[in-house]
Structure 1
Amino acid sequence: MTEILSDELKQRLQAIRLAVFDVDGILTDGSLYFLPDGQEIKAFNTLDGLGLKLLQKAGIKTAIITGRSSSQVSMRAKALGVDWLLQGREDKLTALEEIWQESGDSATTTAYIGDDLPDLAAIITVAFGASVPNGHPVVCKEADWCTTRRGGQGAAREFCEILLSAQGKLSGLIEEFR
């Protein structure tokens, strides 16, 4: 994992208490698969799942905000113990503000990772906004940081680990697996 962050970004990361994830293009590769009966199928990366679990173990709350609605996302969020799941929400910043109302968090304690224009307002509002190398060029330009891995291929895990590393928690969490 590449950790080229300014001191200012590292300081902002130390205050993060809520990590928010988009789905298509972040937790998946952005491909949409449909069976002949119209049922949608999504593939999730287990590296990303453990990343969310590590955040939770470190006391960081997790949320998923997605523009689409899918039973697969509901099942994945439940399996991971995600604190908030908001589906069918194109206005990601409004959805995020609803989470802040409930959680007591704010922009200064939130990190967000997304890849496309509906994520842009949230990315530029939070303390740490991230994207992926295959994200929309405007989103990548406006983000504070971009992962080296693509969406659905461990990008969310990289995001989780940079948060944990900046907070000095990653090494201890890794040691628990030895």
Structure 2
Amino acid sequence: MGNSLSAQLTERLRPVKLVVFDVDGILTNGQLNFLPDGQEIKSFHTLDGLGIKLLHKAGIETAIITGRSSPQVEQRAKALGIHYLMQGREDKLVALEELWKQHHHSAATTAYIGDDLPDLAAIITVAFGASVPNGHPLVRAEADWCTSRKGGEGAAREFCEVILSAQGKLNALIDEFR
């Protein structure tokens, strides 16, 4: 693991056309917060949102596969233009295989980031599986790479940028802001 990528991992990222995110622990910090009426509150990091938009500008599709169901996740996915949203899916690999079949993607063209045991099978199946420092130790150990930032604190952005960098697209995208 670690933050730098080996030449072998960089090569595995070049054909990636689909990037998949877990929600709790990746796009959020993993904490579940509820109002007195039972309504759930989720906080998302703006750095992650721009990272996802950069993937889209580079022609890479995105998906969210999450075990929970939340209107906040649906709203965030819509605001970011996420291509595929699968909520209430505990078996992440089965959901991922369905997505591949329906949308003509494959393990060889997919990168996935997750933090806990339900993400493990997907992480070890795809071309590039990543986790976060606050993820489950076994998931971190099995992942190809681990971000330096924690989930909910810009980890997804770091993941997006490592993919774009490996594909030689990051610098041109950043230059658009200069």
TM-score bracket for the superposition, by shorter chain length: over 0.9
Matches within 5 A, 1:155-166: 155-166=155-166
Which 4+ residue blocks in structure 1 deviate beyond 4 angstroms?
none
TM-score, normalised by the number of residues in structure 1: 0.98
Per the TM alignment, residue 27 of structure 1 is displaced from its structure 2 partner at its CA by 0.1
Gaps of 5+ in 2: none
**Percent identity between the aligned chains?**
74
Q: Which residue of 2 aligns with 1:96?
A: 96
Q: Which residue of 2 aligns with 1:60?
A: 60
Per the TM alignment, residue 103 of structure 1 is displaced from its structure 2 partner at its CA by 1.6
Matches within 5 A, 1:18-57: 18-57=18-57
Q: 1: distance between equivalents of 2:107 and 2:101?
A: 11
Per the TM alignment, residue 129 of structure 1 is displaced from its structure 2 partner at its CA by 0.1
**1:148 partnered with 2:140:** no
Root mean square deviation of aligned Cα: 0.8
Are the equivalent residues in 2 in contact too, given 1:3–1:162 (CA < 8 A)?
no
Q: Which residue of 2 aligns with 1:12?
A: 12
**1:123 partnered with 2:119:** no
Q: Which residue of 1 aligns with 2:76?
A: 76
Q: 2: distance between equivalents of 1:59 and 1:103?
A: 15
Q: Which residue type is aligned with residue 70 of structure 2?
A: S
TM-score, normalised by the number of residues in structure 2: 0.98
Gaps of 5+ in 1: none
Q: 1: distance between equivalents of 2:104 and 2:90?
A: 22
Q: 2: distance between equivalents of 1:78 and 1:22?
A: 16
For residues 7-35 of structure 1, the C-alpha deviation after alignment (integer angstroms, 9 at most, x for no partner) is 11000000100000000000000011100
Q: Which residue type is aligned with residue 64 of structure 1?
A: I
- Tell me the secondary structure at the aligned position of residue 38 of structure 2: coil
2-11 or 80-89: bigger deviation: 2-11
Are the equivalent residues in 2 in contact too, given 1:67–1:88 (CA < 8 A)?
yes
Are the equivalent residues in 1 in contact too, given 2:92–2:121 (CA < 8 A)?
yes
- Tell me the secondary structure at the aligned position of residue 37 of structure 1: coil
Are the equivalent residues in 2 in contact too, given 1:67–1:87 (CA < 8 A)?
yes
